[in-house]
Amino acid sequence: MAKIIPVFIPHAGCPHQCVFCNQKTISGQKDNGLAAAKIQIEEYAKWTKPSWENEIAFYGGSFTALPMSFQEELLKLALHYRTTGLIGKIRLSTRPDYIDVLRLALLKKYGVGTVELGAQSLDDKVLVRAERGHTGLQVEEAVQLLKKEGFKVGLQFMVGLPGQDVDSLKETLRQAVELKPAIARIYPLLVVRGTALAVSYAEGKYEPLTLEAAVEQSYYLYEGLTRAGVKVIRMGLQPDKELCQEGNIIAGPFHPAFGELVKSYGYKVAVQKEIAALPEGKYEITINHPPKLASIVRGMHRENVKFWEADGKAKIKFKESSEFSINSVCYDSLNII
């Protein structure tokens, strides 16, 4: 199985300190130098089977905003591990306002295949309040240039940003679908220690989403992007040791299995629509699903099942199958009709 070898370069190259960001806490990585990058790769190399499908991924900072000389040093380091056979691919994340022909030429020289852009939103009002320092138009221009130069493009989005309402989220999804990225990530906004957002929260100027609201909004993006052919490769922050250390997350909808909660919510909605569409009566509902989806379909602590059966209209049964489907049978208290 292909492995991603993450190399965190916290805040390296970032020209802005976004209100929500403290990458040294989020990533657990304190040093952003070349030596630190090599140490991270070597740690993963100890238990990673060499494969051309493995990928070194530079995360945390704004890679293309780094001095060109330092970018090249990091890319040479990654290229070294490609020549040894440990990896075959290189990817990175960066800002949309630091994408141009010169920078992309350097990335192409060293074989970078995927570039992920931290868009977070495509609503300029939301971007201003988040102090992102770029516009939605710059995201669009960066995506177009990356595609023109042959890169696989990813976009990263957030829910719960200051000033982000339902209309803003809908417009962001509409524009994202038009941009047609290959992949996407969705993160709920957390209040992390050491950020401007933490100050706003303490002053009562920012209220984070509840877990339920974050799941619902993330599913809205996930479903819309997936339906448009965009592969959502992650939802929720990686629950690593540093992020989960006591006191680092001050508030917000953190859950170690956030992505599973979002997908489970999708099944909850789909089955409930089927039940609601049935005529009045009582029904035995059989949900067919692949074995690996059992816990996601049922919901954590069988919460989906409890929800479907709450009003007494449906009695839920499960059956393993190669595909997800729903069958219903109407019955009375004595006989199945």
CA 256 to chain centre: 13
Q: Is the predicted pLDDT of residue 188 greater than 60, yes or no? A: yes
Q: Predicted confidence band at 33 (pLDDT cuts at 50, 70, 90)?
A: confident
Q: Is the predicted pLDDT of residue 15 greater than 60, yes or no? A: yes
Return the beta strands (E) in the chain as ranges. 4-8, 55-59, 89-94, 112-120, 152-159, 183-188, 191-192, 231-235, 249-251, 282-289, 314-320, 325-331
Give the position of tokens 């591990």.
81
Query: How far apart (Å, rounded) are the C-alpha atoms in residues 268 and 44?
Result: 37
| Overall residue count recorded for the chain in this entry | 337
pLDDT in the model for residue 135: 96
Beta bridge partner(s), residue 331: 282, 336
Instruction: Tell which CATH architecture fits domain 4-256.
Output: Alpha-Beta Barrel (3.20)
pLDDT in the model for residue 331: 74
Query: How far apart (Å, rounded) are the C-alpha atoms in residues 148 and 291?
Result: 41
Domain ranges of the chain: 4-256, 279-331
Query: How far apart (Å, rounded) are the C-alpha atoms in residues 257 and 234?
Result: 11
| Dihedral angle, C-alpha 167, 168, 170, 173, nearest 10 ° | 170
Q: Using one digit for the tens of pLDDT, what is the confidence trace for 321-334?
A: 999 999 988 875 43
Q: Is the predicted pLDDT of residue 177 greater than 60, yes or no? A: yes
Q: What is the bridge-based pairing of β-strands 55-59 and 282-289?
A: unpaired
